[in-house]
Amino acid sequence: MPDMAHPQAEPPFGRWDGHCHTHFSRRDGVDDTDAFAARLHALGFVRVSFTEHPTFPSGRIDENLRREVYLDEEGLERYVRRMEGVREAYRGRLEVRVGFEVDFVPGDPDWPLVYLERYAGRADDATLSLHFLPGEDGLVPLDVDPDVLEAGLVHPLGGIDAVRRLYWETLLEAVERANAWGLPYPRRLSHLDVVGKFRDRFPLADPEADRQLALRVLDRVRELGWALDVNAKGVDVPLRREAYPDADLLAAATARGIPLVYGSDAHHSAEVGRHRDRLAAAVAAAGTGRAP
């Protein structure tokens, strides 16, 4: 059942890591899954959703990026099998959900159905992410490099306002599409406003217009009963220094009663639990209408 059905049974903020990667998306490939699980348990987490990057269609993004970040079919099977083992090993101590960070692929919106249906009986959870927008020469990553964002989208579209407009519109499309799949997941959006990863370099001309577009997404998230990832990764980005979403959108989400789930977005076991207290304080402040 979706999380909404039994809100009283959900772990409080900071006891569920809803967005956690593994060595399967790391270049070194050294299996430290047990260290992830042990650290989660030691830090008092009661649930973790491993949300690894599954497969991504070829020919749409830079091939090196695709190979580095996304699994191939065989790797995906190995990932699911490994996490099934962890789920079993920690049963009763830590609820392990086996899942995916589902990428919305502009131009190929039903791509995720291939793996979501294949692993329907074995996986437990997924988040929905938008990492790419269409540029003049294919899909452009939003969160890899500010120079890439500038050359691929900001410059061609005539400014960051237009890029962000496209982000919010595409995100709405992604949510609608995923909802239409009629599956138990994804029902949680990852790192809302990841297009703002390098925000200090790309100031908006019209922040209020941008906010209105973001609120449309939050309204739809509320209507559908989805949740939001409050993602720690943004805190470590020098051009951002704040979680995704920011305090303003967090307050708007809280005012709408949208469930918020902590996400470390850890790729190494040492990153498990990162900035949890800071994010919990931001969530608490959002609930009182105060800026954190």
Which stretches of the chain bind Zn ion, using CB under 5 A?
Answer: 101, 129, 265
Quote the least distance from Cβ 212 to Zn ion, whole Å. Answer: 25
**What residues does 102 pair with on adjacent strands?**
128
| Least distance between Zn ion and beta carbon 172 (Å) | 18
CA gap 117, 137 in Å, rounded? 31
Nearest distance, CB of residue 193 and Zn ion, angstroms: 12
Nearest distance from residue 197's CB to Zn ion, in Å?
A: 10
Nearest-angstrom CA–CA distance, 201 and 222: 31
Of the pair 82, 131, the CB lying nearest Zn ion is at 131
Dig out the tokens for 249 from the structure.
């959108």
Name the pairing type of β-strands 227-231 and 260-263: parallel
- Minimal distance in Å, beta carbon 171 to Zn ion? 13
Nearest residue (CB) to Zn ion, 22 versus 129: 129
Per-residue tokens: 275: 């900035």
Nearest to 217 by CA among 180, 242, 189, 247: 189
For residue 274, the minimal CB distance to Zn ion (Å) is 13
Residue type, 122: R
Q: How far is CA 284 from CA 13, 52, 55, 70, 212, in A?
A: 10, 28, 36, 35, 23
Is 101 or 271 the residue whose CB approaches Zn ion more closely? 101
- Our CA angle for 29, 42, 89, nearest 5°, is 60
- Between residues 101 and 246, which has the closer beta carbon with respect to Zn ion? 101
Q: Which is nearer to Zn ion, 71 or 91 (CB)?
A: 71
CA-based max dimension of the chain: 54
Give the nearer residue to Zn ion in terms of CB position, either 192 or 214. Answer: 192
CB of 100 to Zn ion, least distance (A): 10
CA nearest neighbour of 188 among 129, 266, 122:
129
Cα–Cα distance, 55 to 161 (Å, whole number): 31
Closest CA to 164 of 124, 110, 206, 136: 206
Q: Report strand pairing: 47-52 vs 138-141.
A: unpaired
Q: Residue 3 or 265: which CB sits closer to Zn ion? A: 265
